[in-house]
Amino acid sequence: MLFIITLAEVHNLTIHEFHNLTEPTFIKLYAPWGGHCKHLAPKFEELSTVTNVKVAQVDCTDESVNHTCSELNVRGYPTLKLFFNNQFIDYEGDREVGAMKLWVETTIFPLMQHASISDLKQLAASCNTSTFFFASTSHPEQFENILSEFKGKIVIGYEDSITERFVAVRESVEITFTGSLNTFELKKFVQIHSNPIFITFKTPSFWKYTIAEVPVIILFGKENQVQPELQKLQEMAKTFKYQAQLGFLPSNSDTKWFITNQLIKDTEKNAIFVIKKEKIVHRYLDKDSFEDLVDFIYQESERK
């Protein structure tokens, strides 16, 4: 069963309601004066209109709930928690509507949903993710157990079938899993194909895209200066989609400090670099043609 979308609103929890929660509730613990809280407010309002999970908030500056916020170990505002199964689960993902919706709904419901590919495509689109997974199986619990660590991160479903099949539908391209149905190979397949084919990286979530078994090739630069290279790399992503993860990291005040001495030395130059586990190779765009640079660093990443 997929989720029925209903209109809702962010409910302001009273202290009595807070201590008597019974249904799953996604809660924002905030301070009205906080800049990050103000930035999140419209997104949280939007979230309440696209999910039938209860969305609520608690003003931690209210003296009646100060003690409760402290008990929940609220160290900064806003803090997001899901009340589910009589416990509070911390949300540490992106503060975007699609990411929050995906995490809340797939945390509450079973990882493996009995649904058609068209239903899963609709759900994935509502969560602003371009990839979902689908199994034809008579043993969905096998996939549920192996892929449990991806709960809250992916959309996945199944149909009843005596013929075992597992696919990733990545930006409308169906990719069939051809390995053995074991823990290592299934996890690797999901990890590689759970990302968009081309990513515009955001600093806080940057490193989570670099842990897969494929190289991560990244264009770094000022967006108004690298449009030709950006378009070429987006086209290359369609070819590299099985062998590498491609993306763009815009050069700005937030990213320069982040990559200094970690990825490239001169943050004033536009560059192309690749990360393969702990190995980092980079070249600046003033050397050779762009295609040659991409090919060079990809080959470098493949060397032992």
Helix axes 35-50, 97-108, angle to 10 degrees: 60
pLDDT value of residue 52: 81
Peptide bond into 78 cis (omega under 30): yes
The gap from C-alpha 246 to its chain's centroid, in whole angstroms, comes to 15
pLDDT value of residue 130: 78
Q: Determine contact, residues 280/295, Cβ cutoff 8 Å.
A: no
pLDDT value of residue 152: 82
pLDDT value of residue 57: 92
Helix (H) or strand (E) holding 158: strand 156-160
Do strands 173-176 and 216-221 pair parallel, antiparallel, or not at all (unpaired)? unpaired
pLDDT value of residue 261: 57
Query: Within a 10 A sphere around the Cβ of 3, how many other Cβ atoms?
Result: 17
Q: Where are the domains of the chain?
A: 11-103, 110-193, 198-302
Query: Within a 10 A sphere around the Cβ of 236, how many other Cβ atoms?
Result: 19
C-alpha–C-alpha distance, residues 252 and 268, integer Å: 10
Does domain 11-103 correspond to CATH entry 3.10.129.10?
no
Q: Can you give the pLDDT of all 304 residues of the chain as single tens digits?
A: 333 333 346 888 888 888 888 999 999 999 999 898 999 999 999 999 988 889 999 998 888 877 888 888 888 899 999 999 889 999 988 888 988 998 998 888 888 989 999 999 888 888 778 789 999 999 999 999 999 888 888 899 999 999 999 999 987 888 899 988 888 899 988 988 888 888 888 766 677 676 666 788 889 988 899 999 999 998 888 777 667 888 998 988 777 777 765 667 777 888 888 888 767 888 888 877 888 888 887 787 666 5
pLDDT value of residue 99: 87
* Backbone region of residue 172 per phi and psi (left: phi > 0; alpha: psi in -120 to 50; beta: other values): left
Q: What are phi and psi of 137, to 5 degrees?
A: -160, 155
Fold of 198-302: Glutaredoxin (3.40.30)
Q: Do domains 11-103 and 198-302 have the same CATH topology?
A: yes
Contacts of 243 (CB under 8 A, 6+ apart): 214, 215
CATH architecture of 110-193: 3-Layer(aba) Sandwich (3.40)
Place of tokens 């990545």: 170
